[in-house]
Chain A
Amino acid sequence: MRYETERTRRRGHADTATDTLARGLGLFSIALGIAEIAAPRALARALGMKGQEGLIAGYGVREIATGIGILASKDPTPWIWGRVAGDGLDLATLATALEGNNPKKGNVGIAMAAVAGVTALDVYCAQTLSRESPHPLPPLQDYSNRTGYPRGIEQSHGAASDFEVPRDFRTPEALRPYTQPEASRHPQPSM
């Protein structure tokens, strides 16, 4: 069967959308980490956190490690929870930049809002993954004989052609020529 593939069956849970989200967060983690390592001075300047370049670069290393963990592990759940913890650390660090006469408080506020948004996503992803079963799917049930047609599909195809669609559910007359090829024999309406 075409749909019985390795990818469909290897997952321990049905919600592959959350896996995709986790992968997205892993990629985001790596990208952010690279930016923090590559440009700690520019980030420090933008946030009014001069003198903390080393800390920012260190956080970059943490981001990359977490991202690799998410992408490389069989079960990304603990790594996503790790991201949640890291988000808390980021927010706490940014909060220190709101103290005193930092002229870049506006930027810090924007950065905190962005981190808060990502945190919400991390928490959602971690919670969803935690709810899902870590066990592999049991073998496929065989439903290939569940036709639902006691007389067989050939006999049943069109068996309800005696049914008259109620007037309120009919395709509007004006649309019928477009959906029924046999009607193309009739003149097409002019513009």
Chain B
Amino acid sequence: MKALVWHGTTDIRCDSVPDPQIEHPRDAIIKVTSCAICGSDLHLYDHFMPGMKSGDIMGHETMGEVVEVGSETKGKLKVGDRVVIPFTIICGECDQCKRGNFSVCERTNRNGHIAAKAFGHTTAGLFGYTHLTGGYPGGQAEYLRVPFADTTHIKVPDGIPDEKLLFLSDIFPTGWQAAVQCDIQPTDTVAIWGAGPVGQMAIRSAILLGAKQVIVIDRVPERLAMAEAGGAITINFDEESVIERLNELTNGKGPEKCIDAVGMEAHAAGTVDAMYDRVKQATMMETDRPHVLREMAYVCRPAGTLSVPGVYGGLLDKIPFGAIMNKGLTIRTGQTHVNRWTDDLLRRIEEGQIDPSFVITHTVSLDEGPDMYKIFRDKQDGCIKVVIKP
């Protein structure tokens, strides 16, 4: 089959690789009908996340049709089922899964001992996202093996196009959880850093959840336009002071809820701390560029909440913990517990409250995938979300 394969920094190719096989009775194989490139894939493309090996198949936003099932999936999954595959692989049986904390499933990361060394304890296995999270082949391919398939799937009905359902795999529940972590009240101003795909979903989620005011911070004109269409007030950080504008929009009090939909590769032009991060990262003295975290901690209203769906990988410098502590901020973070939200979100799609396909700007074949990584990374051609049709 054809698949998008990581070969090194900014080197992704469309290769022919062996078809996946059932390896365990809980496995299933799906024929991929649609998959997408995620913003977090760019951390792998640029090789900011450790633990990739040449030959790894990319992709963790996938949906398709079940074509083969293992003996222990019977009753829960059958050939012909239409499924969206969550990016987190879940066993459904461990303590964390039982609590709904699926992204920290204790059993699905087959390299859990490596993750435990990096993070103290293991987190869930993920598709196509480094050997720290299990080294599972990803879904930017014609076929995908789904481990723990009896629990790692979201059944979706026929009659709704892939484009409306695909993002249940990651960015829609990620934006949703980012907003839910804020426990949004009708009086809240929610500030969202980053108008990429997750930021766009967070905007819509905050609006659906009834925020009084949603403000988004970015600098890419197309992304700001899409954010504005979703009901957000926009701040272009190249053009104006984020802190001053946020205070102006909140009568000097600061936003109650702040969402970091940027993560480890913040591009903040002209600020001293951003320059500092660039130098430290270039000289391998810091893994991540946490400008957004610093800005959120500083501007957030006392007793407010910082919600962090943006991906961080390692060690961060100069985090103003004094501001966080003295203002009594609550920080909520984490990879998304996808299956915790998807039944509810699927209902909202079916009811017409939201159509997540608004975010798609490019639809391409697998062969065009490697070029789209670069276009997406460089934000060229108005690229916000790429869907791949294998």
A1 touching B354, Cβ below 8 Å: no
Q: Is the CB of A179 within 8 A of B303?
A: yes
Q: Are B210 and A169 in contact (CB under 8 A)?
A: no
Interface-side segment among A10-18, A32-40, A52-60: A10-18
Q: Are B183 and A150 in contact (CB under 8 A)?
A: no
Binds B, one of A69-77, A90-98, A151-159: A151-159
A14 and B180 contact, Cβ closer than 8 Å, known pairs A160-B353, A163-B209: no
B210's contact among A14, A15, A161, A166, by CB below 8 Å, is which?
A: A161
Rounded to whole angstroms, the CA-CA distance of A144 and B354 in the bound complex is: 16
CA distance A175 to B356 in the complex (A): 33
B270 lies within 8 A of chain A by Cβ: yes
A181, B380: Cα distance in complex, Å:
43
A180 within 8 A of B: yes
The answer to whether B187 and A144 touch across the interface, beta carbons within 8 angstroms, is: no
In the complex, are the beta carbons of A149 and B355 less than 8 A apart? yes
| Interface 9-mer from A41-49, A78-86, A133-141 | A133-141
- Given A3-B221, A121-B282, the answer on whether A180 and B185 have CB atoms closer than 8 Å is yes
- Which chain B residues numbered 163 to 195 have a C-beta less than 8 Å away from chain A? 180-181, 183, 185-188
The answer to whether B234 touches A133, judged by C-beta atoms less than 8 angstroms apart, is no
Question: Is A186 on the interface with B (CB-CB < 8 A)?
Answer: no
- B230 located at the interface, meaning its Cβ lies under 8 Å from any Cβ of chain A in the complex: yes
- The smallest beta-carbon distance between A174 and chain B, in angstroms, is 9
Residue pair A3, B239 in contact (C-beta under 8 Å): yes
User: Chain A: which residue is nearest B282 at the CB level?
Assistant: A124
Q: How far, in angstroms, from A138 to B25 measured CA to CA in the complex?
A: 51
Q: Determine whether B267 belongs to the interface, using a CB cutoff of 8 Å to chain A.
A: yes
Total interface residues on B, using CB and 8 Å? 66
Interface: B21 (CB within 8 A):
no
C-beta contact mask, B11-49 vs A, less than 8 Å → 1, else 0?
A: 000000000000000000000000000000000000000
Question: Given A21-B275, A120-B283, A171-B183, are A3 and B268 neighbors across the interface (CB < 8 Å)?
Answer: no
Are A146 and B239 closer than 8 Å at their CB atoms? no
Bound together, the chains give a CA A8 to CA B220 distance in angstroms of 8
Q: Tell yes or no: B243 within 8 A of A by CB.
A: no
A99 within 8 A of B: no
B275→A150 contact, CB < 8 A: no
Which residue of the partner chain, among B100, B353, B380, B384, contacts A149 with CB atoms under 8 Å?
B353
Contact with A along B354-390 (1 / 0, CB 8 A): 1110110100000000000000001111101000000
B319 within 8 A of A: no
Q: Say how far A96's CB is from chain B's closest CB, in angstroms.
A: 26
Q: Determine how close the nearest CB of chain A comes to the CB of B355; give it in whole angstroms.
A: 5
Residue in A9, A124, A156, A171 whose beta carbon sits within 8 Å of that of B354 in the complex: A156
Q: Which of A16, A120, A175 contacts B238 (CB 8 A)?
A: A16
A window 93-122: CB within 8 A of B: 117, 120-121
Contact among B221, B230, B359, B381 for A8, CB-based, below 8 A: B221
- B332, A169: Cβ atoms closer than 8 Å: yes
- On whether the beta carbons of B219 and A16 are closer than 8 Å, the reply is yes
Q: Which residues of A contact B302 (CB under 8 A)?
A: 178
A156 lies within 8 A of B221 (CB): no
| Minimum CB–CB distance for A103 against chain B, Å | 30
Would you call A185 an interface residue if the criterion is a C-beta within 8 Å of the partner chain's C-beta atoms? Answer: no
Binds A, one of B58-66, B122-130, B200-208: B200-208
Contact of A140 among B222, B340, B352, B353 (CB under 8 A): B222
On chain A, the residues within 8 Å of B268 by CB distance are: 17
Chain A's closest residue to B340 (CB) is: A166
- Which chain A residue shows the least CB distance to B100? A166
- A180 B187 Cβ-Cβ under 8 A: yes
Min CB distance A167 to B, Å, is 10
Residues from chain B with Cβ under 8 Å of A121 in the complex:
279, 282
State in angstroms the CA–CA spacing of A5 and B221 once bound together.
9
A-B contact pairs, 29 of them (CB 8 A): A7-B239, A9-B221, A14-B220, A14-B267, A15-B267, A16-B267, A17-B269, A121-B279, A124-B282, A140-B222, A143-B222, A143-B225, A143-B361, A143-B384, A146-B359, A147-B358, A148-B230, A148-B356, A149-B353, A153-B231, A158-B186, A158-B208, A158-B209, A160-B209, A175-B328, A179-B185, A179-B187, A179-B301, A180-B185
Closest 3 CB pairs of A and B: A141-B382, A158-B210, A148-B358
Having A180-B185, A182-B187, one finds 20 other A-B pairs with CB under 8 Å, namely A2-B239, A8-B238, A14-B378, A14-B379, A17-B268, A121-B282, A140-B222, A141-B222, A141-B361, A148-B200, A148-B204, A149-B207, A149-B353, A150-B354, A150-B355, A156-B204, A157-B208, A171-B183, A179-B187, A179-B256
